[in-house]
Structure 1
């Protein structure tokens, strides 16, 4: 998918998160994006169980990566606000590639 489609998907996710979670913040979303971007650069994003030494956002991202492409993916992403932030960051860093429906 092209960058414009990815940006539209991110905007849709943010809008949906704001409707579902009153405390969803775009500033925090950017902060999580930076955390996930750094984790990706350091090789911390991988399909692995939660690690107490990692940020809750990195653990959420790893959980999302673990379930990506399975029927557990959407329930995992929508589980809580931490997972929503992590999902938006994963899409924004091109860690998860969107495919045309």
Structure 2
């Protein structure tokens, strides 16, 4: 993970703590492993929520569906589940960030 990505994740975590309060490192690691496994199994794709999938995978798929659209930020700020999923997507290079 490059420095820009690490800084972006740190900023997301800071903003999530400010907005939602609790943001656990252990939860971050667990979600990272879930998203990493889902990515390796081809479960991350632009699709509607599926009751059979983990809530974090559904959140990640919703983020992927809205990424690059005007509904992305409202989706991202929906709840803490989406923030955890977004951090994991960035950490696994599923979503690439660019310099502003």
TM-score bucket (shorter structure): over 0.9
- Which residue in the other structure is 1:18 paired with? 17
Q: Which structure 1 residue ranges, 4+ long, deviate > 6 Å from structure 2?
A: none
Q: Which TM-score applies when normalising by structure 2?
A: 0.96
Unaligned stretches of 5+ in structure 1? none
**Deviation at residue 96 of structure 1 after TM alignment:** 0.2
- Which residue in the other structure is 1:78 paired with? 77
Aligned residues: 100
**Deviation at residue 23 of structure 1 after TM alignment:** 2.1
- Which residue in the other structure is 1:52 paired with? 51
Unaligned stretches of 5+ in structure 2? none
Per-residue CA deviation, residues 10-50 of structure 1 (Å, 9 max, x unaligned), is 01111111111122111101100000000000000000000
- Which residue in the other structure is 1:30 paired with? 29
Cα RMSD (Å): 1.0
Q: Distance in 2 between matches of 1:81 and 1:47?
A: 20
Q: Which TM-score applies when normalising by structure 1?
A: 0.95
